[in-house]
Amino acid sequence: MTSNRLLVIDDDPTSSATIGRIARGCGYDAIITTDTDDFRSRVLSWDPTVIVLDLSMPEMDGYQVMDWLARQGCNAHILIVSVHELDRLREAEATGRALCLNMAGVFQKSLNLEKLRDVFREIYDAAGVLSIQDISHALINREFRLVYQPQIDLKSGGIVGLEALARWDHPRRGPIPPSTFIPMMEANEIMSEFTYRVLEMALDELRAWNGAMNGRVAINVSAAVYGAMGIDEMVRAQCIDKVVDIRRITIEITETAAMTEASEVSACLWRLHELGAQLSIDDFGTGYSSLVKLHQLPFSELKIDKSLIRDCVPNPQSNILVRAMIDLAHNLNKLVVAEGVENLETLRCVRECGCDVAQGYFLGMPMPPDEVIPWLKQQATRVDQL
């Protein structure tokens, strides 16, 4: 259930429909009722965060409704809407405040739609809580974008690929981190739609680079996507549609998800491998890997988690762990990627440990797609310095 719930009690179907439409456009889950008994029931069971109240109802007027809400200890923001003169509406608002209700404003029935929308948004933003409706709107309105972080070959200094990282620029709240929106997507079964969009953007941008970037593109895929839709079919179909060689795509899955016993995950990974996609275990070192499972699954690389990489210079035990992971991966004929390389000392350390590929702020910041080609040209002059 969304944390932005708006309940309208109004016997005017035209105004209530308008209010509901505006509220939903602002991200609310909105319910409209004309019946006072239904209204009371929904207040108690649904716990709305905003109530839009018509002062003139046939069974119970707005003053009686406010008195009842006060006795229930209602904490919702309350907006009064009526055909009455503004002075009377303000008197009603004052009454609500005297009852210790959270009064949010008054509107005459000749609604100022923009002002009403602004009030809804202010309340919504003040709550500081994202809803699944926010994310659905963001997908529809294409608010998500990708940035790309380079992955560098530690022997040649050349680029081997880019990791695609999702970013969300909310139109009112600004940047929202993946750690906030990804769990909500996974919990609400819209991760497949998001993954499809990410894959679509990554392949479009790979084509737009028109051969100037010959490496691979790595895409993170949540375990929530495996099974029902089938990431293998999604990748295959999109690569055919975009005319992109599937061998240039690396699918990253976290260590915890990779080690699951779920048969659909294992089967899906094998189908991706047979199609030609590369597979990578992400955040390696943070889960509980089975050596048998590592040997059985068709991964081409392991990505050592940045928490271990950042600690491998100052902490001797972390250094030992990183070396052991690299030796294990090489004995299994897999490449090793170090993520989180943020200074020269760490770069030297992972190179001395025998790591194959590295990425991190020291080597290249995540960048929008139009900055990739200029960065590659500049990088060509830095190869000997790495």
What are the structural domain ranges in the chain? 5-129, 133-385
Tokens of 8: 């309208």
Output the average pLDDT for the chain.
88
Torsion angle (degrees, nearest 10) of CA 311, 301, 292, 246: 150
| 135-149, 254-268, 294-308, range with greatest mean pLDDT | 135-149
The stretches of 72-175 forming alpha helices (DSSP H) are 86-98, 113-127, 132-140
Nearest CA to 154 among 327, 354, 305? 354
pLDDT digits (tens, 9 = 90+) for 186-214: 877 889 899 999 999 999 999 999 888 98
Nearest CA to 261 among 303, 220, 223? 223
**Cα 324 to Cα 195: distance, rounded to the nearest angstrom:** 33
**183-187, 226-230, 277-281: the lowest-pLDDT one:** 226-230
How much is the average pLDDT of 23-34?
87
Decide if 4 contacts 133 (C-beta within 8 A): yes
Decide if 292 contacts 326 (C-beta within 8 A): no
Which is the CATH superfamily of the domain at 5-129? Answer: Response regulator (3.40.50.2300)
Q: 253 pairs with which residues across the strands? A: 281
With 80 as the cut, is the pLDDT of residue 229 above it? no
pLDDT digits (tens, 9 = 90+) for 320-347: 999 999 999 999 999 999 999 999 999 9
| 103-107, 288-292, 333-337, range with greatest mean pLDDT | 333-337
Q: Give the pLDDT score at 1.
A: 46
With 50 as the cut, is the pLDDT of residue 183 above it? yes
**Cα 163 to Cα 257: distance, rounded to the nearest angstrom:** 19
Local confidence band at 228 (pLDDT 50, 70, 90 cut-offs): low
With 80 as the cut, is the pLDDT of residue 64 above it? yes
Q: Give the pLDDT score at 128.
A: 64
144-153 and 159-170 as β-strands: parallel, antiparallel, unpaired?
A: antiparallel
pLDDT digits (tens, 9 = 90+) for 243-272: 999 999 999 988 777 776 567 788 888 999
Decide if 205 contacts 146 (C-beta within 8 A): yes
Q: Give the pLDDT score at 124.
A: 74
Q: 358 pairs with which residues across the strands? A: 152, 338
How much is the average pLDDT of 297-321?
91
Local confidence band at 122 (pLDDT 50, 70, 90 cut-offs): confident
- CATH architecture of the domain with residue range 133-385: Alpha-Beta Barrel (3.20)
Question: Do the domains at 5-129 and 133-385 have one common CATH topology?
Answer: no
Question: Which H or E run contains 71?
Answer: helix 62-71
How much is the average pLDDT of 73-77?
89
**Cα 304 to Cα 285: distance, rounded to the nearest angstrom:** 6
With 50 as the cut, is the pLDDT of residue 3 above it? yes
Task: Report helix, strand or coil for 24.
Answer: helix
With 70 as the cut, is the pLDDT of residue 385 above it? no
With 80 as the cut, is the pLDDT of residue 111 above it? no
Each residue of 225-257: b (16+ CB within 10 Å) or e?
bbeebbbbebbbebbeeeebeeebbbbbbbbeb
Each residue of 129-165: b (16+ CB within 10 Å) or e?
ebbbbbbebbbeeebbebbbbbbbbbeeeebbbbbbb
* Single-letter residue type at 337: V
The residue with tokens 């999702």 is: 166
